[in-house]
Amino acid sequence: MLIDLHTHSTASDGTDAPAAVVRAAAAAGVAVVALTDHDTTAGWDEAADAAREVGTALVRGTEVSALSHGISVHLLSYLQDPAHPALAAELERTRTARLARARRMVELLGADYGLTWDEVVAQTEPDTTVGRPHIADALVASGVVADRSAAFTSLLTPRSRYYVPHYAPDVLDAVAAIRAAGGVPVFAHPGADGRGRVVPDAVIEAMADAGLVGLEVHHRDHTPAQAARLTRLAARLDLLVTGSSDYHGAGKPNRLAEHVTEPAVLAAIEERGTTPVIRP
């Protein structure tokens, strides 16, 4: 059974609509797929309708942005109550800050490359929160860079003079908010040091004490050595181990089910969650 617990749609920075993500998962032989757009649940209903149509089980979730001493941390929240105020308020604040950050970055890039806000918005769908991936797509469309990856390693990297940070909650507060909303928090790609700084084990230990449930160990951004270290850490802290594709459609090379989660782990997540898995 192929279980992929980390995908993105046009509700955040993927290139496929939520329904298209589910249909692509079904076509790839994925039995269970999670839709986990950044800081939003906007794609849940469309994905649920598609899951019922094609007969693929759907785990509804969100990738929650957080910070730990200035280091970006992403938490996969599974099966939470989307209306719970503790988490909903944080997601709304983060989306608002992300939009303001994007506008400022476009202003800075526009001064040197002529990029406009309208060009960036043209790369999005209705109700999408504009972010760096959409700025990257606009830079590609205007011929400034070759693809999203080139944009993120040059003009959009945190080391770039065009980079602008944005608000995100402290990671321990984010874990607490997810748990308060009845969600199951799993630390996404915790060893992905190619993206920037990663938190030390002591922070993961504190997250576990705060209610973290699992680590996304099997991910394309982890080396075999990192995956082995994280597996040992998960065992020591009694955390679940997941694997996922982090699929973004055409936005990244990640392919559905290139890493997967064991059925017993999904069952443990489902036991802890508030919102049910949608099953055929």
The predicted model scores a pTM of 0.93
Q: How far apart are CA 114 and CA 136, in angstroms?
A: 14
The model's pLDDT over 129-176, given as tens digits with 9 standing for 90+, comes to: 889 999 999 999 999 999 998 999 999 998 899 999 999 999 999 999
- Tally of helices (H runs) and strands (E runs) in the chain: 10, 7
Task: Specify the CATH superfamily of domain 2-92+166-272.
Answer: Metal-dependent hydrolases (3.20.20.140)
**Residue whose structure tokens are 């969100």:** 62
Q: How far apart are CA 157 and CA 24, in angstroms?
A: 30
**What residue segments make up the domains of the chain, in order of their start?**
2-92+166-272, 101-153
**Residue whose structure tokens are 């003079």:** 161
Domain 101-153 in CATH 1.10.150.650? The answer is: yes
Geometric angle at alpha carbon 102, from 119 and 198, rounded to 5°: 130
Question: Mean pLDDT, to the nearest integer, of 64-71?
Answer: 95
Q: Do domains 2-92+166-272 and 101-153 have the same CATH topology?
A: no
Geometric angle at alpha carbon 96, from 93 and 100, rounded to 5°: 135
